[in-house]
């Protein structure tokens, strides 16, 4: 019988989390059967055909409301009362120092009761979660209720910003293993666990789908265009980018800037664009599909990502796979991939002056030099971020976890 694994995510599918879909599909190519479970997302508006297909394959914990959760709790309590009250104690412990009040953690217990019976009916041998937040706690509680072992992937920066209130150490200790997407991420997880648990932390990088790295080389466009791909939010630094664009415009430097994405700060970003009269130079696309992201990257000379906090952005890998150089910040795992002078530029986060200078330097760099950098980046990213290679590493970890059996709780 093939190994059966469950993937449990807070929201799935999601426009900005296509890397999870790629990972699941790559695991299935490895011969692993994958059950998709998410808390929410059954009514999300999706522009990508593959995301819509994944939505139809996913079971949703919250879709039928609170009464079904309560019935699942009663069933779990009646089936194994000892395990239920042990899990209840763990939920209370997790709520003690958390930033979310205790009722949330009791809801996580109800959600764990709900997925417990789905996991058993499917025959899942292991549960894997993306992000070390509430979904990881639900998987941990399901394990305490008698469910399978679990693991989770930490991307950052949220987990690194509030590890104590997330109970990150407890989640790691009870897990079979934990995945970091970069060496930087691994080092941050080491900070919150005893040395004896360090071997649990594995590095498995996010992988690229073939559609990105199989595209024939396309020449850099004549138009001096930069693209920034990402959710319009505080940590991505788009306001700083508009400030830098304003400085370039004041100096009479020709350029175009595309902000590919949408998010909670769109109105503020648009307001700043209007304030500086940059409407003819800066364009916001809104949410777009993976194919459209690829088209926007190929239509630009390079990617600019002025992030304040990150893990290791997948869009950097995608851009390098499409043979475009990258301008981004010295934060988190980014310097593990972007090499100054070889594959792009790095500049200090939060400095509008350094960002403007870097953009100006990039725009003045010859096409020949940019193409050499792009080719170097292409070779590097294919070497380090093949989705099938990284999925094979993950599949081996799943098999090992299933052989070892339940981790101590």
Q: What is the pLDDT of residue 406?
A: 45
pLDDT of 213 over the 90 cut: no
Q: What does the pLDDT look like over 246-277, one tens digit per residue?
A: 999 999 999 999 999 999 999 999 999 999 99
Instruction: Tell me what pLDDT residue 1 has.
Output: 52
Q: Is the pLDDT of residue 407 over 50?
A: no
Between 175 and 2, the higher pLDDT residue: 175
* 376 membership: H or E segment, kind and range: helix 367-384
pLDDT at 409: 40
* Pairing status of strand 256-260 against strand 344-347: unpaired
Residue 122 · residue 3 · CB < 8 Å: no
Torsion sign over Cα 259, 264, 266, 268: negative
In order of start, what are the domains of the chain with their CATH numbers? Answer: 4-207+387-404 (3.40.50.2000), 211-384 (3.40.50.2000)
Q: Does 367 have pLDDT greater than 60?
A: yes
Beta-carbon neighbour count of residue 320 at 10 Å? Answer: 32
Burial class (CB in 10 A: 0-12, 13-18, 19+), 329: buried
**What would the pLDDT profile of 87-137 be if each residue is shown by its tens digit?**
999 999 999 988 899 999 999 999 999 999 999 999 999 999 999 999 999
| CB contact burial 378-397 (16+ within 10 A = b; e otherwise) | bebbbebbbbeebbbebbeb
Residues of the chain by 3-state class (helix, strand, coil), percent to 5: 50, 15, 30
Tell me what pLDDT residue 46 has. 86
Is residue 146's pLDDT more than 70?
Answer: yes
The lowest-confidence range among 37-51, 340-354, 387-401 is 37-51
- In the sheet that 4-11 helps form, which strands lie side by side, from edge to edge? 58-60, 33-40, 4-11, 126-130, 149-154, 177-180, 201-203
- What pLDDT is attached to residue 212? 62
Please tell me the predicted confidence (pLDDT) of residue 392: 96
The confidence score (pLDDT) of residue 97 equals 82
Q: What pLDDT does residue 211 have?
A: 65
Distance separating alpha carbons of residues 380 and 354, to the nearest angstrom: 26
């Amino acid at each position: 019988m093939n190994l059966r694994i469950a993937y449990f995510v807070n929201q799935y599918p999601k426009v900005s989390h296509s890397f999870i879909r790629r990972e699941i599909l790559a695991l299935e190519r490895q011969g692993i059967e994958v059950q998709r479970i998410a808390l929410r997302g059954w009514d999300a508006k999706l522009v990508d055909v593959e995301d819509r297909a994944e939505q139809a394959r996913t079971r949703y914990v919250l879709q039928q409301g609170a009464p079904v959760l309560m019935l699942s709790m009663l069933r779990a309590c009646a089936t194994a009362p000892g395990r239920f009250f042990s899990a209840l104690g763990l939920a209370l412990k997790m709520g003690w120092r958390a930033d979310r009040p205790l009722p949330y953690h009791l809801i996580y217990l109800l959600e764990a009761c709900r997925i417990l019976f789905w996991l058993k009916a499917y025959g899942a041998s292991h549960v894997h979660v993306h992000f070390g937040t509430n979904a990881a706690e639900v998987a941990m509680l399901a394990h305490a209720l008698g469910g399978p072992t679990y693991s989770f992937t930490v991307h950052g920066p949220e987990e690194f910003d509030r590890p104590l209130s997330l109970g990150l150490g407890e989640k790691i200790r009870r897990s079979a293993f934990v995945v970091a997407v970069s060496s930087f991420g691994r080092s941050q997880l080491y900070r919150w666990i005893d040395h004896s648990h360090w071997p649990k932390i594995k590095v498995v990088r996010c992988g690229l789908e073939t559609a990105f790295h199989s595209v024939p080389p396309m020449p850099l466009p004549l138009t001096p265009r930069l693209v920034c791909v990402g959710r319009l939010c505080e940590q991505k630094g788009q306001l700083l980018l508009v400030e830098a664009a304003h400085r370039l415009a004041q100096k009479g430097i020709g350029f175009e800037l595309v902000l590919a994405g949408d998010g909670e700060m769109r109105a503020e970003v648009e307001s700043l664009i209007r304030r500086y009269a940059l409407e003819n130079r800066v364009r916001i696309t809104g949410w777009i599909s993976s194919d459209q992201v690829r088209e926007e990257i190929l239509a630009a000379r390079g990617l600019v990502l002025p992030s304040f906090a990150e893990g290791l952005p997948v869009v950097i890998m995608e851009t390098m796979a499409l043979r475009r150089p990258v301008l981004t910040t010295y934060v988190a795992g980014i310097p593990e991939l972007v090499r100054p002078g070889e594959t792009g530029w790095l500049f200090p986060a939060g400095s509008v002056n350094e960002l403007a200078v870097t953009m100006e330097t990039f725009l003045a760099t010859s096409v020949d030099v940019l193409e050499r950098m792009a080719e170097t980046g292409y070779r590097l990213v294919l070497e380090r971020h093949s989705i099938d290679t990284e999925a094979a590493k993950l599949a081996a970890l799943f098999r090992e976890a299933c052989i070892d059996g339940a981790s101590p709780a």
